[in-house]
């Protein structure tokens, strides 16, 4: 009866971790895809500076709410894949960029360092997400535990970023979204931690039930017989030395 309950608990935790893993996977792929597509559009194929006209061309009203919903509780270290945050605080007309026809560099990959950093952050996070999903499928506790630690780091960075926000960004809608985001991320952490603990307990019980290996048997075998043989050899060698001394004296 207890074994059946344990298997049922493990199955529920595994199903929850699979759902969490695939939600993170979808969010990571959407973030990277949107980041690349938007950068391609506003930089005219990664070879021009950003202009006000190119920014206005991608200011779709549906984009940011969609990304906010997809990334709710699942996003990586870079929450939204946009270099600009629609410039709500600073009007677009006052930005020190060209109105139209920006400077281009044909044949060169022209990207800002911030965009490269954001892309690499999301790509690295995607790698850990894939390792987590694979670990859940294989019932491997190590990648699950690693992902749990990284999620704690992500949540700590997220809370730090919320604490450092400017006052004009603390609207009711933004605070409600952030609170919901943190609560969902915390719930995911609890499920991942419970499944990681479950896998480690199962692995420990399996190792305890298995018979010891041949090497362990050799290590744990008492060495009294070997010591006795050494003592016998030592006594025989002493007797040989005594007989040699007697023959020499005679």
pLDDT digit string, tens, across residues 6-41: 677 788 999 999 999 999 999 999 989 988 888 888
pLDDT of residue 81: 45
The residue extents of the domains of the chain are: 2-209, 214-249
pLDDT digit string, tens, across residues 158-195: 888 778 877 766 778 778 888 898 999 999 999 999 99
What is d(CA 185, CA 27) in angstroms, rounded to the nearest whole number?
13
Q: How far is CA 88 from CA 95, 120, 162, in A?
A: 12, 26, 17
Question: pTM of this prediction?
Answer: 0.73
What is d(CA 10, CA 19) in angstroms, rounded to the nearest whole number?
14
Q: Is the pLDDT of residue 216 over 80?
A: no
pLDDT digit string, tens, across residues 69-121: 888 888 755 555 444 454 444 566 666 677 777 788 887 787 888 888 888 88
């Amino acid at each position: 009866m207890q074994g059946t309950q344990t298997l049922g608990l493990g199955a529920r935790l595994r199903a929850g971790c699979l759902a969490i893993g695939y939600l993170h996977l979808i969010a990571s792929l959407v973030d990277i895809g949107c980041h690349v597509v938007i950068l391609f559009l506003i930089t005219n194929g990664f070879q021009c500076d950003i202009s006000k006209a190119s920014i206005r061309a991608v200011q779709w009203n549906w984009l940011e709410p969609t990304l906010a919903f997809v990334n709710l509780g699942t996003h990586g270290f870079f929450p939204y894949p946009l270099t600009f945050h629609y410039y709500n605080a600073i009007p677009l007309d006052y930005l020190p960029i060209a109105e139209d026809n920006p400077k281009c560099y044909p044949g060169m990959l022209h990207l800002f360092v911030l965009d490269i950093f954001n892309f690499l952050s999301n790509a690295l996070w995607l790698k850990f997400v894939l390792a987590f999903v694979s670990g859940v499928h294989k019932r491997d506790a190590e990648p699950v535990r690693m992902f749990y630690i990284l999620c704690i780091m992500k949540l700590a960075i997220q809370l730090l970023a919320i604490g450092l926000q400017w006052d004009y960004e603390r609207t009711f809608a933004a605070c409600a979204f952030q609170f919901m985001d943190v609560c969902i991320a915390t719930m995911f952490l609890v499920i991942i931690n419970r499944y990681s603990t479950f896998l480690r307990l199962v692995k420990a019980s399996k190792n305890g039930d298995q018979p010891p290996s041949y090497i362990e048997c050799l290590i744990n075998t008492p060495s009294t017989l070997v010591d006795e043989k050494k003592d016998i050899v030592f006594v025989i060698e002493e007797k040989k030395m005594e007989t040699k001394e007697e023959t020499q004296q005679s």
